[in-house]
Amino acid sequence: MIPQALFILLCAAAPGVFASQNSPANDKPEGAVQTQMRNVTFRFSETVAVEIKSLNGVLVPLGKNEFPVFDDKDSFNLRISTAEIAIDSSNLANVLNSYVFARPHSPLTELSIIVEKGRLKVKGKLHDKGDIPFETEGILIPTADGKLRLHSEKIKAMHVPVKGLMGLFGIDLGGLIKEGKVPGVRAEEDDLILDLEEILPPPHIEGKVVSVRIEGDKIIQIFGGSDAKPVKNIRAGNYVACKNNRLRFGKLVMNDADLILIDMDPKDPLDFFLDRYKEQLAAGYAKITPDSGLRVFLKDFNKLHPAKAPPSNDKTN
């Protein structure tokens, strides 16, 4: 729940914010809320996060939702016009293990990913084949329609070279991937096509990857298109900004949204977890601008519950 003091402040000082009420089911593209993010660690779940260096786009309401709802990740998609987003190898492995291949009796298990000399090495076990270990090595390149292609250059099962993905996966899993029954993954000859919109947990992202590069163990994706235009930063520092139309957070709905979530500690990226944003809000403070905008200063999620120091071994009296 939004802290009571903040609720009173919003109702008294911001006529664009009011207690939410049920609205008729609607699905209007014009209900999209403009968003801009700068230097944000965006957590999709407890185990999956990406690093957003910059992002411009809109929050698009889905289904019967008339506007995006922070408390319902399935109420909107994040449609990207331009962005630079990085995901490291461990987070990509977590996506595959905890989301893509997380269903019971998944054909692939215990996946791990490392980056070595600009190439991705994927290791795991073929559960349907008696947990046979396998590994592939290849490069990532964008497809013409803006997805990611893992072009396999080496494929092994039980440390023995295998000819092609179908030789590795066999008929069952190969058929599932070819038919698109594994969410966000499909096969083209010896390549795997990864669709970030389906691979990442909600809120799902929509956007076209135009280039990919490797820096250390991070996969850096550039989103955009031929019609993408430079966008001026709303402010300095680390933040998530939401502008125009309607937006709901907690018990409040903001008309003509003017909400900026700002990092209380600008020395490192804003660590933002949508699932638990209220905890971050409660640990911070808010201000109302003269034109009824809302500026919320958040504490980084990873600083809300810092790891406890180990007990001291000092036995002196």
Cα gap 130→170, rounded to integer Å: 13
Q: Which residue has the higher pLDDT, 239 or 134?
A: 239
Give me the DSSP letters along 97-120: IIIIT-STT-SEEEEEEEEETTEE
Q: Which residue has the higher pLDDT, 36 or 118?
A: 36
Asked which of 128-137, 180-189, 231-240 is least confident by mean pLDDT, the reply is: 180-189
Element holding 34 (H helix, E strand): strand 33-43
pLDDT at 186 over 70: yes
pLDDT at 296 over 90: yes
Please name the residues in contact with 37: beta carbons below 8 A apart, sequence gap of 6 or more. Answer: 52, 54, 55, 239, 240, 241
pLDDT at 32 over 90: yes
pLDDT at 8 over 60: no
Cα gap 279→284, rounded to integer Å: 9
Question: What integer is the mean pLDDT of 25-39?
Answer: 78
Q: Please give the pLDDT value at position 132.
A: 81
pLDDT at 217 over 60: yes
Domain ranges (residues) in the chain:
4-86+203-303, 89-199
Please name the residues in contact with 162: beta carbons below 8 A apart, sequence gap of 6 or more. Answer: 134, 155, 156, 168
* Closest by CA position to 113, among listed 127, 100, 95: 95
Question: What integer is the mean pLDDT of 78-83?
Answer: 95
pLDDT in tens, 245-283: 999 998 889 999 999 999 999 999 999 999 999 999 999
pLDDT at 303 over 70: yes
Q: Whole-prediction pTM value?
A: 0.81
Residue 3, Cβ density class (10 Å: 0-12 exposed, 13-18 middle, ≥19 buried): middle
Cα gap 225→144, rounded to integer Å: 11
Q: Please give the pLDDT value at position 14.
A: 37
Alpha helices in 206-306 (DSSP H): 277-282
pLDDT at 72 over 60: yes
User: Do the beta carbons of residue 200 and residue 69 sit within 8 Å?
Assistant: no
Question: What integer is the mean pLDDT of 10-21?
Answer: 35
Question: What integer is the mean pLDDT of 14-40?
Answer: 62
Share of the chain above pLDDT 70, in %: 75
User: Do the beta carbons of residue 20 and residue 69 sit within 8 Å?
Assistant: no
Most confident of 135-149, 214-228, 232-246: 232-246
Q: Please give the pLDDT value at position 6.
A: 36
**Phi and psi, residue 169, nearest 5°:** -80, -30
Q: How confident is the model at residue 26 (pLDDT cuts 50, 70, 90)?
A: very low
Q: How confident is the model at residue 307 (pLDDT cuts 50, 70, 90)?
A: low
Q: Exposure string (b/e) for 30-47, b if CB count within 10 Å is 16 or more?
A: ebbbbbbbbbbbbbbbee
pLDDT in tens, 117-161: 888 898 888 776 677 888 888 888 999 888 888 887 887 776 655
Asked which of 55-64, 192-201, 229-238 is least confident by mean pLDDT, the reply is: 192-201
Asked which of 185-199, 233-247, 275-289 is least confident by mean pLDDT, the reply is: 185-199
Q: Please give the pLDDT value at position 310.
A: 55
Cα gap 128→63, rounded to integer Å: 36
Cα gap 43→38, rounded to integer Å: 14
Per DSSP, 164 falls in state H
pLDDT at 79 over 90: yes
Q: Please give the pLDDT value at position 172.
A: 42
Q: How many CA atoms lie within 13 A of 191 on its CB side?
A: 13
